[in-house]
Chains A and B, each alone.
Chain A
């Protein structure tokens, strides 16, 4: 039991931080502990949770994806154009999701075939995809969609936006996929020792491309939620969202070098970051400080993760 707690220490630390933060905010602000505010936090972070789930898979596989925001934007624009062309909502959403998965798969294929670091490849494709979004839209947002689409992306279910349920369902599916099934097992092996995996006769290309395609698919789903919420697909949507996702994954306890994953930690970190953002808004702190604080948290998380990794290796 003690070993189990120690292995998942980052999750418990984050849960502790969440409780402290909630306690502090409920004392300092009268409006924190209202149903409306809690629902608001969940809704504001549903797409962040979706992106962070995908990023956990990518980082566990020893890679990183800096093109998430650009994929989100380009796939949302594909979907928006399909909707404007008169495609049925289901088909247009499917086209957007497929576009996201394909863009992600291109990342994975490029990394696999060129053997160049994922950081460099996805940095390049992030410019490429963002540029395509701007070229296709001429820099102007694609707006006004059918109500049925908006109902799908941000409609109410029991008074809560559908995006929250999508995030929770994906989180519930991600756990067995990552810890109990071959896909997650091979992804972490890919992050730890790709040569060992290959020498075991496993076709690593399938898993590397698959994890980037899944990341692309989830980015596209986040794009659906954002587009429905704003009633607008914007070429600059998703800017810096990959950084939020990476921050949550590292804070959650997944090592940046890959090889293992702490999905519960990712979920707790997304919630904690949401609490901090919400708290800063309730405390009327300028939004300029929010980015500064997020940067500080990322820096602390990376240092803590590195120290944890060194201690683990010395244990």
Chain B
């Protein structure tokens, strides 16, 4: 197996008295889709927020490309090539599609925004990713859930990145849109993009992921290759918690 692109070593995160993550060890190998699954409140999104620089760990290290960090800022994470599709999508609903895609790194003509170039580049990016959005000048507020999700993914892929973090990327989508998104993830993997996928849908995870980490109550309880496991087996692992709690 090639060297890990990202490694989490003994990561811990608390929110007051609540332990969100406890001694998490996880590694993401280049060119693969690594999935993180678990029940609600298990700490999956906290993990993504640590990697994307939205949260700082209390202890442990995040190793990216061989360099250890005791926590990343958002700007550091972006500079390291980590791109994130957040669960809430983090779009500015009042701005249009191309303004959202380029938010934070606008194309400029002197001191002025070059909207024409941004629109053209967004159109070609969406065409390349096969994401369909009828009008790029329409405020994002008026787009469907699936179109917004597509836009959030396009924004993450606008500039060259090494790792794509996806937090529930099909949550707001219908069956056909989910299928398109999963196909997009497969294509990105073929292009060599490393991905970390968080999802509730184990069948989708097994459809695209190479490796699965199971988080339960903030602890990593299993690390399996999808080829050697099944959705039912993972489901059973997650359910054991409920049975333990009931007992």
Contact = CB atoms under 8 A, between A and B. Distances in A.
A59 B193 CA distance: 41
Interface residues of A, number: 22
B224 interface: no
A198 interface: yes
Given A199-B52, A200-B103, A259 B108 contact: no
Nearest to A200: B104
B54 interface: yes
Contacts of B52: 199
A199 B92 contact: no
A30 interface: no
Interface of A is mostly: helix
Contacts of A315: 142
Name which of B75, B90, B100, B103 has the most chain A CB atoms within 10 A of its CB: B103
Contacts of A195: 88, 90
A260 B99 CA distance: 13
B94 A181 contact: no
Given A181-B112, A315-B142, A196 B74 contact: no
A196 B94 contact: no
B113 interface: yes
B108 A196 contact: no
B92 A196 contact: yes
A293 to B, nearest CB: 32
A199 B113 contact: no
Interface in A192-209: 192-193, 195-202
A314 B122 CA distance: 27
Contacts, number: 62
Interface residues of B, number: 26
Contacts of B88: 195
Contacts of B95: 188-189, 192
A200 B93 CA distance: 15
A182 interface: yes
A16 interface: no
A176 interface: yes
B94 A197 contact: no
Nearest to A190: B92
Contacts of B100: 196
Given A189-B92, A189-B103, A199-B74, 4 more contacts: A185-B99, A188-B94, A195-B90, A200-B104
Interface of A: 176, 180-182, 185, 188-189, 192-193, 195-202, 259-260, 312-313, 315
Interface of B: 52, 54, 74-75, 78, 84, 86, 88, 90-95, 99-100, 103-106, 108, 111-113, 141-142
24 contacts: A180-B113, A181-B111, A182-B108, A185-B99, A185-B106, A185-B113, A192-B92, A192-B93, A193-B90, A193-B93, A196-B90, A196-B91, A196-B100, A196-B103, A197-B104, A199-B52, A199-B84, A199-B90, A200-B103, A201-B78, A201-B104, A201-B105, A259-B94, A260-B94
